Structures are given as structure tokens and as C-alpha cells.
Structure 1
Amino acid sequence: MRIRQVGFSSRLKAHRKILTLETLKFIVEFLKDRDARMAALRSGVPENYASRQGAWLKKHAIVLAALEADVDEREQLKLEKALAEIEKQMDICKEILNLQDF
């Protein structure tokens, strides 16, 4: 029996439907001022790649779907608070697993 390995392009297609922490950070930051480059910078993308990554993320299927939602100021604050809580929990997990350097 032969096992078929999933190719790189198949993984990219599957990734389009997954909300990652990095993508969530970008969405929250992009909603502030609709500037893809600045949102990428604020979400942790290095300055060298911020323009390219911001433009790419802005076209990402999950980002487009999120931007179609009508998010008001109150919902924006809830998103920012939820993101801060997620980051706090990630730090706790890193500490438990001794991964502070990653």
C-alpha cells in the first residue's frame, strides 16, 4: 500500500481556512486604520517584509471574510481584549513547555 504525501500546494490550500494567531493579529491591526503595511508591522512582521506580507494577507481568504463583517468600535475592543488574552495564554504555555526563547 502506498501512502500519498500531501504536497506543498495542498497544504497552502488547507491553510486558507485556518485562523492562525498571526493572521488574527493582522486582522485586528488592519481594522484600526486599514493600512496593510502598518498592520503587518504592528502584528510582528519584520520591516523588510511588512509591505509584501501585508499585501498578501489582505488578499488571504480568511482575512477577506473577516473584513466583510461589520465590526463596530465595541466589537473592535472585544477583539483586542480577546487577542491580549490569547497572547497571555500563549505565554503561559511557552513557560510551561520551557519555550520562552521561541
Structure 2
Amino acid sequence: MVDPIKISSNASATRSVTTSTNSARAQTAAPAKAGAVAGAKTDAVALSATASQMPEELKAGPPFDTQAVNSIKEKLAEGNYPVDVDKITDSLFQGYLELAG
């Protein structure tokens, strides 16, 4: 379905975006912003000993199969990764149905 675009007869096709007052403000504001950024203070973050410790479940390694990820990366780089378009389409449609409810 296409909605028609309604344009009134008195509508102007072009419009001035800036005025002399606005451009003068923009010119005076630009140097102030640049100076503020150049002299800005930097923030510092300090982690407590508890926060800097690695969680137990990550000490054994990442929570995913790194060999499978590396295999997929290699196949993608070689151009040999199989793409099942029907499976992708079914999965997207199933997700849509779940959202549509």
C-alpha cells in the first residue's frame, strides 16, 4: 500500500536553512567548543581488587568453542563456508512469528 504525498499549493519547494543571525552564532560558538575540548580534563578509572579479579568460570577459558570459531573463520576467509539460504529464511520467519505473537 502506498500513501499519497499531499503537497499544498502554498508550500515552498525550497527553504533557507540558515539565516545571518544563526550563521553568526555558529561562527562564534565554534572556537569556544574547540578550545573547551582541547583543554578538557581527562577522566581516570580505578578498579578495586575484587573488580579486577577474573571470574572463576572464565579462568578455564572462553565460554564458547574456540576451535569451532577458528574453523568457521578459516572457511569464511577461504570462501568455503556453506550457506543454507532455506535454513536462514526459516529461522528469520520463525523469529518474526514469535515477535508477531
- Greater Rg, structure 1 or structure 2? 2
Q: Is TM (by shorter chain) over 0.5? A: no
Greater RCO, 1 or 2 (C-alpha within 8 Å, sep 6+):
1
Q: Which TM-score bucket, shorter chain as reference?
A: under 0.3
Structure with more of its chain in helix, by fraction? 1
TM-score under structure 1 normalisation? 0.21
TM-score under structure 2 normalisation? 0.21
